[in-house]
C-alpha cells in the first residue's frame, strides 16, 4: 500500500502548495482560513510521505509505518475536504 500512498501524498502536497500560492497571490490570506488549512495539509502530507517512504525502505517495522502513513493520509484528505467545502459554500 505504501507504494500507492507515497506518490499520491506527494502529488497532493504539490496541489496544496499551488492552492496556497494562489491564495497568497490573490492577497486573500488575511481574509480566509484557507491558507492555514493548506499549511496544515502540507505538513500532514509531508509526514505521510516520510512514513510511507520509511515503510518501503524498512525491513522490520513495515506494517507499523504503513498504518501511520495511512492514518495521517486520511487526516490530510479530511483537511482538503474541509477546505473544498469552505470554498464551494463560500463560507469565507
Predicted pLDDT at 22 = 85
State how far the alpha carbon of 53 is from the alpha carbons of 14, 32, 56, in Å: 17, 33, 5
What's the predicted TM-score (pTM) here?
0.85
Domain that residue 29 falls in: 2-88
Q: Does the pLDDT value for residue 92 go beyond 60? A: no
Give the per-residue pLDDT at 32: 75
Q: Based on the structure, what is the number of domains in the chain?
A: 1
* Each residue's pLDDT tens digit, 23-66: 888 876 667 788 888 999 999 999 999 999 988 888 887 788 89
Amino acid at each position: 500500500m505504501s507504494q500507492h500512498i507515497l506518490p499520491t501524498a506527494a502529488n497532493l502536497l504539490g496541489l496544496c502548495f499551488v492552492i496556497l500560492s494562489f491564495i497568497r497571490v490573490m492577497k486573500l490570506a488575511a481574509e480566509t482560513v484557507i491558507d492555514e488549512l493548506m499549511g496544515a495539509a502540507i505538513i500532514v502530507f509531508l509526514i505521510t510521505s516520510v512514513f510511507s517512504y520509511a515503510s518501503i525502505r524498512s525491513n522490520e517495522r513495515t506494517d507499523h509505518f504503513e498504518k501511520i502513513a495511512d492514518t495521517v493520509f486520511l487526516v490530510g484528505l479530511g483537511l482538503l475536504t474541509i477546505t473544498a467545502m469552505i470554498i464551494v459554500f463560500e463560507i469565507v
